């Protein structure tokens, strides 16, 4: 049954076609470790309410003073109500506007926040400083577990994946986001 089927046409919407929020990943890449990374992890924990994990450099870059295996960033993955609460605050800091280029063809949305103090309810602490962050949102449908399970993993068919237009409609409906088109 197609997604556009209504009760008047004799059928209900297919519950397997509902789009839902899979996860929200908040990333702070600093390019250096030490005290500044500890401060960034403190800020990320206070913003999201979840414990951040440090991320290591994949290769050495002599010009930037980065060595392979050195901690240079931190990340938090949010799911469920924590993800909803954080996204409402993040969109409020962006004045509920996102560019159309933030959406990819597979139902993922990525955008940046230049300063963490732009988030509502966040106070500036001069001892910590100001950090920017990247926010990545993954939208999915029921049944995506098939690709992630350990025993007999499968692939998600193209007809079941969330596409760009569906992701835009979902964000407009769920969070009241205005989409800015590039001219």
Per-residue pLDDT reduced to its tens digit, 14-41: 899 999 999 999 999 887 778 888 999 9
> Which helix or strand (DSSP H or E) is residue 166 part of?
helix 164-175
State the pTM of this model.
Answer: 0.85
Tokens of 6: 């209504």
The answer to whether residues 106 and 89 touch, using CB atoms and an 8 Å cutoff, is no
Answer yes or no: are the C-beta atoms of 23 and 144 closer than 8 Å.
Answer: no
Pick the CATH number of 15-180 from 1.10.10.10, 3.30.420.40, 3.30.1440.10, 3.30.565.10: 3.30.1440.10
Token couple for 145: 């577990």
Helix (H, G, I), strand (E, B) or coil at 82: helix
Segments in the chain below pLDDT 50:
1-8
Domain ranges of the chain: 15-180
């Amino acid at each position: 049954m197609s997604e556009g089927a209504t009760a008047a046409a004799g059928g209900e919407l297919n519950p397997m076609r509902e789009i839902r929020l899979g996860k929200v990943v908040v990333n702070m890449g600093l390019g250096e470790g030490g005290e500044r990374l500890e401060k960034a992890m403190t800020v990320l924990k206070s913003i999201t309410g979840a414990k951040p994990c440090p991320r290591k450099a994949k290769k050495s870059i002599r010009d930037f003073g980065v060595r392979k295996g050195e901690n240079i960033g931190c990340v938090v993955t949010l799911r469920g109500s924590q993800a909803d609460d954080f996204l409402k605050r993040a969109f409020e800091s962006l004045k509920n506007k996102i560019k159309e280029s933030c959406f990819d063809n597979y139902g993922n949305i990525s955008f940046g926040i230049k300063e963490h103090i732009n988030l509502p309810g966040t106070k500036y602490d001069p001892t910590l400083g100001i950090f920017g962050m990247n926010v990545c949102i993954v939208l999915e449908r029921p049944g995506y577990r098939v690709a992630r399970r350990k025993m007999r993993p499968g692939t998600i068919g193209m007809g079941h994946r969330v596409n760009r237009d569906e992701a835009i409609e979902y964000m407009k409906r769920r969070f009241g986001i205005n989409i800015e088109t590039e001219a």
